Amino acid sequence: MAPDPLLKAAIAHWGPRFVANGVVLTDFEEVAGSLTSYSGWCRAWSERAAHHEKLGREALAHKHFLTAGECLQRAGVYYHFASFLFVNDVPQMKVAHKKQIECRQAALPHLRPPGERVEIPYQGKTLAGILRKPAGIDKPPVVVMAVGLDSTKEEGDAYEAPFLARGVATLIFEGPGQGEAQYDFAIRGDYEVPVKFVLDFVGTRRDLDAERIGMWGVSLGGYYAPRAAAFDKRIRACIALGGPFNWGANWDNLPELTREAFRVRSHCRTDEDARKNANTLSLEGVARNITCPLFIVNGRLDRIVPAADAERLAREVTGPVELMMIEDGNHIATNRAYRWRSQSADWMKEQLK
């Protein structure tokens, strides 16, 4: 029997990311190897997630809180990857999504440093986020973190850790079309609108230094972050990881799973409607308004966002810019995360001194 092209694409595109962001390599190999069709993806990953959740719940019962935090954090990541692109079966996706939220929420008090769920007022509802602050620092600077099309705050631990270790707080949140907000709000190109509400929220926190705010974004968030920086000058520095310059321009080259997830999270009925929305995610005529320092990362071998998009962004901004193009890197160079994660956090720490 010929291999399922969706399953083959999912494994080829996302394997390095899974392992870099908290999935145990043997788990990835075993779960991926057990599948013959993408239709079984969410179920298989949820079953493996449940194993880690059970370990975490047992540790909680024995008051082994560090172990509980580790296991429940890992379970949340697994449930996330069960649901992250599974829009072909939304009811099944929602079950796994609910579980990922529950597991990371249960882990937060026991992480080092701990985390706090926050709910940011937005258009009569809220945007969910997780705030973590480095231990022993009064009013630290903060990096506001924008996730991508298929990432959520539950995937954030590996992204947060380098900043927290350097004395920078992290606020990872889910905007329109993302995570918990995907059900109420469609993806929108003018992402500066929700970011304004997030920065306003930072300004209400007496335990954060609202004069030292950085912005960070991964994948589609690598578009959202510089887009927000072009409009909101409260952002002192920005990191853009693997973001498109114009999402619609590359529409026909996107993987099928990615296009379908964008359609669903854009609340669009047809592929053509989704393409129209994709064309609103653009830095055309906007990039030149980015004046804060900008750090851009991508892999030359990216099969989702052309490497040329990162190079164009670097050319068109008017502020200081550093471009890290990793020649043997895939999308966001997750196969070479050691090349940029610590280094970009060092850069941000310097900018927010």
Residues designated catalytic: 219
Q: What is the 3-state secondary structure of 245-314? A: CEHHHHHHHCCHHHHHHHHHHCCCCCHHHHHHHHCCCECCCCHHHCCCCEEEEEECCCCCCCHHHHHHHH
Quote the crossing angle between the two packed helices 5-20 and 256-265, to the nearest 10°. 80
Distances (CA, A) of 329 to 149, 324, 325, 338, 340: 20, 11, 8, 11, 11
Q: What is the DSSP letter of 145?
A: E
In angstroms, the Cα distances linking 271 to 219, 254, 264, 277 are 21, 12, 10, 10
Distance of alpha carbon 315 from the chain centroid: 25
| Cα–Cα distance for residue pair 43/283, rounded to 1 Å | 38
Indicate if the alpha-carbon torsion angle 161, 155, 218, 119 is positive or negative: negative
How does DSSP assign 53-93, residue by residue?
Answer: HHHHHHHHHTT-HHHHHHHHHHHHHHHHHHHTT-GGGHHHH
Q: How far apart are CA 45 and CA 51, in angstroms?
A: 10
Distance between CA atoms of residues 53 and 31, nearest Å? 16
SS3 125: strand
